[in-house]
Structure 1
């Protein structure tokens, strides 16, 4: 093995509202083990940018330097022959306002880089797309992949439920619960109409659903099938869950819209402790004492806001 081989790094750009700040940063911590105060993050972890509702694009870094001349010297190595390409200057960066590179200048830089690549430029249907981005005073160039807003396609479901999570929040919660899907078995034992299940299944995560309400389990199955996905949803109380799981996602029923009691909420947490190593709880109330009484340690948390409505998202292990 070549010890001098450079470790591949990736740069991700983010877009989120102020209300989403806390949730987005918790997702960052889960996916990358770090968070960034700017809307860029550099990591050696490679994930599909379409997994996150907040990531806009990913650059697989090929070259880096202190300025554009360093990048121009490096891209001379790219030999595409008959294949086509385009270069995109990523708009999101951490430059001070006085150093911002405006639209016209970005287009000039794109063309200048393109002139140093051996291949044919095609801005409409290129075989290869490259990105250039500035971050932390450095310039980075590499293969470019744009995020697809998969969650957006899941907004219109055949079956809806007024208190269900939004698809954006549900997708972020799934990433918090299952940052590395390989070999992980997950369960949503209070799945409702399946908002979390749809997001998880669309990412290829091994997850099953369950609910005590036959109306919502049938709705969950309908929603899953509507998006061409396959997933098991069973009817029954959480007390009857017999298998063990790596993680459970529980949008805790609350008595604002249901007749669930504090004792019943506590029972849900106790059963989750029995069959799951890790639990991500979504709650509208502060239930730290209840979580700890059920035998969990709280390892991370955030708040998801929507107007005046607040949800706490709590990681328990």
Structure 2
């Protein structure tokens, strides 16, 4: 039975990743061993599951049928075992995709207490400022910051925090401090994930929405990069308090235009569509909803 389950697990991950070599690295096996395992499964079932070319792997009709059932079976086995153990004895590996800066600054400090509650559980933190394909990466869940993801995913709001304009004191001493939103047009601006790649910055003051064209002198695609650029005196950036709390506390950054309100940064738990979130993913999202601080 164990061999049959291993065959199914390797087949599912091969399809999800599209790569024998990636599955080999995940499982600590050689690439030929993974290929032989899939071939053995095909031989045992007497059907072709994958069509192999030099560029990609594609599913046959039989493979499509097996894939959905195999996923259900493997998830069901793990869920049954965790249900039998109880919520305080979850086991297995919890794979969570998340933005790198948010993961380092917010999630890692909260992780010891969660793993202390679940000593049989392992964590695989997939930190990247690129949005990963949850299924291809084998993630149980993802943490996302920003607008609610599209409806093809199952989402859960966890917490929200303020976004604010920040700059280094040395930059403001050199270039002056803007007194109103329009004066941002006279300053160097830093673009990052918190501004959403928009062509305008929008803020609210005394119930009135104001819009300022946004033409950054420096752009970075990571939150930590935007904070670092602002700290280095390259200009004014937008950052959430989750991202820049340490820099504000140390004085490396100060808030600019505090009378203006930006839309908050909202953290969501995101689960792959078409399947019930696992017990370990639900437990982790429950925990984060309790401990992540909202300050909007």
TMscore range, shorter length: under 0.3
Could you state the TM-score of these two structures normalised by the residue count of structure 1? 0.24
Which structure's residues are more often helix, by fraction? 2
- State the structure with bigger RCO (CA 8 A, min sep 6), 1 or 2: 2
Which structure's residues are more often strand, by fraction? 1
Could you state the TM-score of these two structures normalised by the residue count of structure 2? 0.25
